[in-house]
Amino acid sequence: MSSDRSQATPGPSQPDEFWPRFWFNVCSYSEYYFMLLIAVTIMAVLNAVAMLLAEQSTASFVIATMVFVILGLTALAVGFVLWQCKQLRGPDREKLEGVEPTDRSQEE
């Protein structure tokens, strides 16, 4: 019974295996992250237009500024993911080669 439990532990067996698998799985959706970056950019442009055309009051200015902060942080996070994926898929390409998206504990 105890031998079955030791073989069925989920997750990577060594800490060094987590990050390559994590980035392999994240980078497999990089097209969607790029579309999210485009959507965030469009929302920022629309927010800027609304800020220029709308009535200038303190409340609307604060809300527009908060929206810019949220959109900026989102754009930075998505940009970092896209940059990291580009770095890992660079000329050496060895960083993501051989990384399997499936869990090795299922293979026997």
Q: Give 16-20 contacts, CB < 8 A, sequence gap 24+.
A: 20/95, 20/96, 20/99
Share of the chain above pLDDT 70, in %: 70
Please count the CA atoms within 13 angstroms of the CA of 67 that sit on its side-chain side.
18
Q: pLDDT tens digits, residue range 35-71? A: 999 999 999 999 999 999 888 888 888 999 999 999 9
Q: What is the pTM of this model?
A: 0.68
What tens digit of pLDDT does each residue of 5-31 get?
A: 545 555 555 557 888 999 999 999 999
pLDDT mean over 70-92: 93
pLDDT of residue 14: 59
Tell me how far apart the alpha carbons of residues 49 and 1 are, in angstroms, rounded to a whole number.
65
